[in-house]
Amino acid sequence: MTQGAMGSKTASSVVAGGVFGPVRGYPYRTLFGWIALLAIVWLVLCSPWSSGWNIGAGVAVMICTAVAMVIATRRALTRTEATQPVLRKIDGALSALPADIKRNTPIVLVASTTETLMAHAFGNEAVRVTDTAIWVRASDPAKLAHLADSLKRWREGQGPDAVALLVDADAANDQAALTGVLRRWRAAVGEASRAVGYPMPVCLAVYANERRPTSDECPWFGVSGSSDIELATLPEAIATRLAAYAGMAIPEEREARARRAARLDAAAQWTSAVVLPVLIDEQRGTRAVHVCAVGLMAVSSYPAHDSLLAKYVSGITALTLPVNVSATASENIDNVARYPLPESLMRGIAAQQIHRPLSRALAHGFLALVAVFCAAAGASAWQNRNLVERVNNDMARYRAIPESMDAARVDALSAIKRDRDQLSRYASDGVPPRLSLGFYRAAPLLPVATALIAGYQPPAPPPSMIELNSLSLFNSGSAVLNPGSNRVLVGALELIKEHASKRVLIAGHTDSVGDPRSNQSLSEARAGSVRDWLADASGISPTRFAIQGYGDTRPKASNETEAGRAANRRVEITLVPDCRDDRKNGAPPEGHEGTVACSFN
C-alpha cells in the first residue's frame, strides 16, 4: 500500500458530525416554488386565455410543483440513506487533517468488476487515503450517482475528480458476464455525471496476475491525460513503455522483466480489444464514458488458465497456461497486501472546478424569470395586435355600410361604442399588465372612434301620413276612383313598398254638407276603394291594411267656407308599426296610442 504522511495521520481520531459543516446541495424545491410562482403571476397578469383556461392551468402548475417537490424530497432521502455512512467515514478519516484538504486532494470514486479485487484494494475500509488522492469505495452501481452528488455537496460544490474502474483480468472467464458488468458501470458513470453536472473522467486500471519474477514491485504502465484515450494507438504506446522497462533491467532480472512485459503487453492488447470497446463505443440507451487514463499492473498471484485473458493470449501465441491453484485463495484478505491503486495515472487527470449549487440555482432562477418575461412580452404583443386589429375592423365595417342601411350602421356603431368605452377606461385607469410592457398602441384609435360616434346622423324619419284630396280621386258623392287617380296614388304606393313591414291605415273624411250618415258611409267606401287599389298594385296582403271612415267628425278647417270644406274632403294614408310587434315589445308605438289600426286584421 502506497501511503505517505497524509495517510499516517488518518487513523488518529474520528470527530462526530463532520469537519466540513452541513452538506448543502442544489435547492430543487426552492427553484420549483420560484418557477410555480412565476407561472401563476403570468397566468394572473399576462395570460391571453380565458378565465377557465387560466384556472385550469394554475391548478395544473400547482399539482406539477407538488409532485416535483415530493420527488425531490424522496431523492434527497434516498441519497442520504445511501451515502451517509460513507460520508461519516470520510469525515472520520480526514478529521485530523487541515480543513482545506478536501479541495487540495482529489477525490476518486473506485469501482471494480469483482468484489474480490475491491477487497484487495480496500480491505474492509470504505475510504483509502494516499499521497495522491482520497479513494472512496463504490461497490454498487445503483448508488454511484447518489455518492457522487453527496461528495459534491460535502465539498461545497467541488465534485469527485474521476472514477477509477478496477478490472481483474484473471477473474473474467465469461465474456457476457464481463460485458454486463462493464455496461452497468458505464451507465452508472453516465448517471453520476448527470447528477454532478459534468462528465466525470474514467481511469481504467487493469490487474494481471503473475508469480512475482523480480524483486521489485511492478509499476503502472499506461497513459493518462485530459482528453479521451485513442483506442488505436493505446497498445503501441503501452508496448513502448514496456520495452523500455524491460531494457533497463539488470542482467539477473532481464529475463523475468521480459516475461512480465510480455504478459502485460498481451493484457494491454486484450484490454483494447475486449474491455475498452464496451466503455467508449456509442450504444443504444447509454452514452460513452470519457476514458482519460488506462493503466496495467502485474500483481503477485497465480495466473488463471481459464480466464478470458488466458484464452486471448493462447489465441495469439498458441501457448496454454498450466493449471495452478491460487496460493491466496485460502488466505484471509486482511493479511494480504493491498493492491496499489492507480495513483500515477491520476496525476494526468485535471482536478474538477468548484460548481457552487447556489450560483447554479440563481442562474437557473434568472433564466426562468427571463423565460416568463419573454412569454409575458409575447402575450402582450399578441393581445395588443388583436386589440388594434379588432378596433380597426369595427371602424372599417361601419364606414363600409351605406347610409341607407341604417339598422346595420347602428349595429356596427354599437361595437365602436364598446371599443370607445374600453379605450377610455384604459386611458383613465391605466393599461392592464397584459397589454402594457411597451406594446400598447391603441391610444391613437380613441379620438378616431369618438369622432365616428359623434358624426353619426340618423336618417330622416319617413312621412307618417299622406293626405290625398278626394276631388282628385273621386267624383262628387261617388266612391269609385276616377280613371286618372292612378297618378295621385303612385306616391303613396312607393312609400308603402319601402315600408312593407308596417301596417297601413286609410281614413276617409268628408265635409259637413249633406246627411251625416251618408257622409260616414261615403268616407268608409272611399277608404275601401283606395285600400283595394293599393293592395292590388303593391301585392301586399289586404290584411295589412285597415280602413276607417270618419265622415265629417274630424274637420281640418271650418266648413263655413268653400276652401275649408274642400280641405275637409280628403283621404289620409298613415303608416303605423304592426300591432303584433308592439305587443311583443310591451307598449304601443309612440304617437299612436289608442289607434284603431291594430283592431283590424
Q: What DSSP designation does 286 have?
A: B
| Dihedral of alpha carbons 27, 28, 31, 37, sign | negative
CA dist 55 and 308 (Å) reads 64
CA dist 277 and 286 (Å) reads 13
Confidence at residue 407, expressed as pLDDT on a 0 to 100 scale: 87
The per-residue pLDDT for range 254-264, each reduced to its tens digit, is 888 888 999 89
Verify that 274 and 381 share a domain, yes or no: no
Q: List Cβ neighbours of 401 (8 Å cut-off, separation of 6 or more).
A: 408, 409, 412
Q: Does the pLDDT of residue 480 top 60, yes or no?
A: yes
Query: What's the average model confidence in pLDDT over 129-148?
Result: 90
pLDDT bracket for residue 98 (50, 70, 90): low
Verify that 150 and 100 share a domain, yes or no: yes
Q: Does the pLDDT of residue 321 top 80, yes or no?
A: no
In terms of pLDDT, which residue wins out, 252 or 142?
142
State the CATH number of the domain containing residue 516.
Answer: 3.30.1330.60
Confidence at residue 580, expressed as pLDDT on a 0 to 100 scale: 56
Verify that 119 and 171 share a domain, yes or no: yes
Verify that 446 and 345 share a domain, yes or no: no
Q: Does the pLDDT of residue 97 top 80, yes or no?
A: no
Q: Does the pLDDT of residue 335 top 70, yes or no?
A: no
Distance in angstroms between the alpha carbons of the first and the last residue of the chain: 121
Q: Does the pLDDT of residue 399 top 90, yes or no?
A: yes
Verify that 278 and 201 share a domain, yes or no: yes
Q: Does the pLDDT of residue 586 top 80, yes or no?
A: no
Confidence at residue 537, expressed as pLDDT on a 0 to 100 scale: 86
Query: What's the average model confidence in pLDDT over 310-318?
Result: 81
Confidence at residue 324, expressed as pLDDT on a 0 to 100 scale: 52
CA dist 321 and 311 (Å) reads 9
Last residue of a domain, one of 355, 390, 406: 355
Per the rule left: phi > 0, alpha: psi between -120 and 50, beta: everything else, 591 is: left
pLDDT bracket for residue 486 (50, 70, 90): confident
Domain that holds residue 165: 5-15+85-355
Contact (Cβ atoms closer than 8 angstroms) between residue 522 and residue 479: yes
In 503-568, DSSP assigns E strands to 503-509, 545-551
The kind and range of the H/E element at 112 are strand 107-112
Q: What DSSP designation does 474 have?
A: B
Q: What DSSP designation does 170 have?
A: T
In 313-455, DSSP assigns E strands to none
Q: Among 67-81, 151-165, 175-189, 490-504, which is the least confidently predicted range?
A: 490-504
Confidence at residue 22, expressed as pLDDT on a 0 to 100 scale: 45
In terms of pLDDT, which residue wins out, 96 or 549?
549
Give the alpha-carbon dihedral of 115, 118, 119, 124, to 10 degrees. -110
Read off φ and ψ for residue 207, nearest 5 degrees.
Answer: -110, 130
Strands 570-576 and 503-509: antiparallel
Confidence at residue 15, expressed as pLDDT on a 0 to 100 scale: 31
The per-residue pLDDT for range 347-365, each reduced to its tens digit, is 888 888 877 778 888 999 9
CA dist 192 and 198 (Å) reads 9
Verify that 396 and 497 share a domain, yes or no: no
Verify that 473 and 430 share a domain, yes or no: no
Would you state the cell numbers that stand for residue 81, as one nine-digit string? 440513506
Domain assignment present for residue 363? The answer is no
pLDDT bracket for residue 4 (50, 70, 90): very low
Q: Among 190-194, 350-354, 575-579, which is the least confidently predicted range?
A: 575-579
Verify that 232 and 342 share a domain, yes or no: yes
Would you state the cell numbers that stand for residue 512, as one nine-digit string? 259637413
Confidence at residue 186, expressed as pLDDT on a 0 to 100 scale: 94
What does R_g of the chain's alpha carbons equal in angstroms?
52
Q: Among 32-41, 215-224, 320-329, 429-438, which is the least confidently predicted range?
A: 320-329
Which residue is associated with the grid cell 476518486?
108
What is the count of structural domains for the chain? 3
The mean of the pLDDT values for the chain is 83
Q: Does the pLDDT of residue 279 top 80, yes or no?
A: yes
Domain assignment present for residue 151? The answer is yes
Confidence at residue 337, expressed as pLDDT on a 0 to 100 scale: 62
Verify that 420 and 526 share a domain, yes or no: no
